[in-house]
Structure 1
Amino acid sequence: MNQAREAQHHAPNKLKSGNPATRAAAERQVAAGAPPRITWRNWVGGARLRTLPLAVAPVVAGAGIAQMLQSFSWPLSILALAVAVFLQIGVNYANDYSDGVRGTDEFRVGPARLTGSGLVNPKHVLVTALVFFGLAAAAGFAAVVLSGRWWFLAVGVVAIIAAWFYTGGKKPYGYMGLGEIMVFIFFGLVATVGTVWLQSDIIPQEAWFAGVGIGLFAVAVLIVNNLRDIPTDRLAGKNTLSVRIGAGWSKALFITCVVLPLAVPLIFLLFYPGMVFVLFVFVLVGPAILIVLTAKTPKELILVLQLTSFAALFYGVALGYAFGF
C-alpha cells in the first residue's frame, strides 16, 4: 500500500493527463506500486538507432557517385551525412511525441515509447525532436554556404516539414497510407541525388538508379514495420498502407521492394565490375523474405526489420564503392 501511494505521489500529473496513453501507463505503474523512472537507455531507445542505416545508405552511395565524377568533397559529404542522421533522429522523436499524444502507442507491439509509456513529459520529447531538426538545419546551412547552392535551403525546409507531418499535425499523411511514397522520395531520391548535386553540377543516371534502389529498401523497412503493427494500428485508427491493403498484399509489396533493387547492379555490371559485390545483399534479403512469408506473430517481424535495415546499408555502401572505385 505504501509503495502504491509513493508511486501515485511521483506521477500525479500523468494520472490526470489528457493523453490516454500517458494516463493509462501511469495508472499501471501506480497499480504495480512502482514509480516511473527514466534512464539514458530510454532516450537512446527513443532515437531508434536501428533506423539510422536508412539515413547513411543514400549519402554513402551519393558520395561514391561524386567520387566517380571526380567532384567528391569530404566536408560536404560529412555535412550531408549529418543532415540525414539528425533528420532521421528528429523524425523518430517527433513520431514518438505525435503517436504518444494521440494514444496510438498504447496498442503497439514492441519496445515502449517515451511518450506513450508515460515515462517522459511529452513536451520534453517534442523539444528533443526540435533540437535534432535544428541540428539538421544547421548542418544543412553549413553545406549550403560551402557549396554555394542556396536553393538547397528550400529542399531542407521541405524535408523538415515532411518529417514533422508524417505523424504530426491534424491530418498526418502517415495515417493516410502515404508514408511509403514520402519515404521513397526523401530517403531514396532526395538523399542520394541531393548528395551528388551538392558536390557536382552533373547528375548522372547512376544517381537516379541508386536513389530508386535505396528508396525501395527504405519503403520495405516501413512496410514490414507497418505489417507488424496492422492489428494495433487498426485499433488506434492509424490507416497505414498495410492496414488498407492487408497483410497478404503487404508481404507481396515488401518482397517486390527488396528484390527490385537488385536490378540496379545487374544493369551496371558490365560498366562497373564492383557491382558484383552489391548482389551479395541477397544474403540478408533472402532470410528476410523467408521470415516474412512464414511469420506467425508480429514479434517475428522485428528480425526482418533489422535484416532489411542492414541490407539497405550494405546496398548503399556497396553501390558507392562500385561506382566510386
Structure 2
Amino acid sequence: MASWLLALRLKTLPLALSNTILGSVLAAHAQRFRWSVFLLAAITTILLQIISNLANDYGDFVNGKDTSERIGPQRMVQSGRITAKTMLRAIIALGIAVSATGVWLIVIGTHGLHTLPILIFVGLGLAAIAAAIKYTVGKNPYGYRGLGDLFVFIFFGLVGVMGTYFLHTQTGNWEVLLPATAMGLLSTGVLNMNNLRDYEADKNANKITLVVTLGPSKAAYYHAGLISVAMLMACIYTLLNYASPWQWLFLLSFPLFLLNLKKVFSYKNSIELYPELGKLALATLLFALSFGAGLLLG
C-alpha cells in the first residue's frame, strides 16, 4: 500500500484540482454553480492526474529515462517496488474509471444541449486521457519532444477552467479565457520547475524538455514570463469585472510567486529546487482559492 501511495504522488492532486475550483467559482459568480458538476469534475480531474503520475512512472522506466541522477521522488517501477506489468494494469483500470466519470459528467453538464457540444466534450475527454498517458508512454511521447508545457497549458488551463465553467453554465464567456490562461500559465510554471530540477538527468537521458532545449538560464526567464503574464491576466479580468476591493484578494498569493522567482534566479544546485516545486503548486492553489473567494465576497 505504501508503494502505491508514493506512486500516486498525492502532493500533485491539489494543483490538479485548482482548475476545477477556479472554473466552478467563476460559474458560482455567474449564479450557475451545480454541485453535481463540481464533484464529478473534481473526481475526473483527480483520476486524470493519478493516471498521468502512474503513466509517467511507467513510461520513463520502459523508455529508459529514469536514471540514478534523478532528484525527484522515487519511482516505484524503477525501484522494483511495483512491477511494470502491475503498473500498466493500474493505468488501464483507472482509464476505465475516468471514462465512466467523464461520461457521467458530460451527460449531466450537457443535458438539454444539441449534439455538437456533447461531441466536443467527448473529444476533449478522450484527448485528456490520451494526453495523461502519452506524456511519457509509447514510441514517441510528447513529453520527450518539449511539448509538455503546451499540453499542460491547454488541459490544466483552457480546458480545465473553461470546460468546467461551460459544464456548469452551459454557456460560454470570453472573459473566462483570462483566468483560464492565468491558471494554465501557472500550471506550466510548475512543470517548468520540475524540468529545471531534472535538467541534468533529462539532458543525459536524452529527454528533450523545453528546459533542455532552452538551457537553465533562458528557462529561468521563461519561468518569470509565465508567472508575470499569469498575474497580468488575473489583473485584467479583475479590472474588467471590478465591483469590490475583495476581488483583489488574489494579490495575497503574489509574495509566494516572487519568492519562487527569487529562488529560480539564485539557486546553485538543482537539489535546491526540490522543495520549491511543492511550494509553487501550493501557491497556485492559493491563487485559485483567493481569486475565487474574492469573486464570491465581492
- The residue number in structure 2 matching 1:121 is 83
How much has 1:53 moved relative to structure 2? 2.3
2:11 is the counterpart of 1:50: yes
Distance (Å, rounded) in 1 between the aligned partners of 2:72 and 2:31: 45
How much has 1:272 moved relative to structure 2? 4.2
- The residue number in structure 1 matching 2:225 is 256
2:104 is the counterpart of 1:136: no
Q: Which residue identity does 2:224 align to in structure 1?
A: I
Moved more, 260-269 or 172-181: 260-269
CA contact (8 A) 2:32 2:169 kept: yes
2:248 is the counterpart of 1:276: yes
Q: Which residue identity does 2:50 align to in structure 1?
A: I
2:242 is the counterpart of 1:300: no
Larger RCO, structures 1/2 (Cα 8 Å, 6+ apart): 2
2:26 is the counterpart of 1:65: yes
Cα RMSD over matched residues?
Answer: 1.5
Moved more, 237-246 or 136-145: 136-145
Distance (Å, rounded) in 2 between the aligned partners of 1:172 and 1:272: 46
Work out which of the residue numbers 72, 76, 85 in structure 2 matches 1:110.
72
- The residue number in structure 2 matching 1:41 is 2
SS at the partner of 1:150? helix
Distance (Å, rounded) in 2 between the aligned partners of 1:57 and 1:268: 18
TM-score, with structure 2 as normaliser:
0.91
Distance (Å, rounded) in 1 between the aligned partners of 2:209 and 2:31: 42
Distance (Å, rounded) in 2 between the aligned partners of 1:279 and 1:135: 38
Residue 131 to residue 320, structure 1, CA distance change in 2 (3 Å)? farther
CA contact (8 A) 2:196 2:219 kept: yes
* 5+ residue gaps, structure 2: 112-116
2:178 is the counterpart of 1:209: yes
How much has 1:142 moved relative to structure 2? 1.1
* 5+ residue gaps, structure 1: 1-39
Q: 1:156-191 deviations in whole A, cap 9, x for unaligned?
A: 111111111111111111100010001000000000
Q: Which residue identity does 2:286 align to in structure 1?
A: F
Moved more, 312-321 or 239-248: 312-321
Q: How does 1:135-214 map to 2 (within 5 A)?
A: 135-147=97-109, 148=111, 150-151=118-119, 152-214=121-183
Work out which of the residue numbers 234, 237, 246 in structure 1 matches 2:215.
246
SS at the partner of 2:32? coil
Distance (Å, rounded) in 1 between the aligned partners of 2:23 and 2:238: 18
Distance (Å, rounded) in 1 between the aligned partners of 2:296 and 2:176: 12
Moved more, 114-123 or 143-152: 143-152
Q: 1:263-302 deviations in whole A, cap 9, x for unaligned?
A: 1332244414332110111121121111111111111101
2:97 is the counterpart of 1:97: no
How much has 1:92 moved relative to structure 2? 0.4
Q: Which residue identity does 1:120 align to in structure 2?
A: I
How much has 1:226 moved relative to structure 2? 0.6
The share of aligned pairs that are identical, in percent, is: 34
Whose radius of gyration is greater, 1 or 2?
A: 1
Work out which of the residue numbers 267, 271, 278 in structure 1 matches 2:236.
267
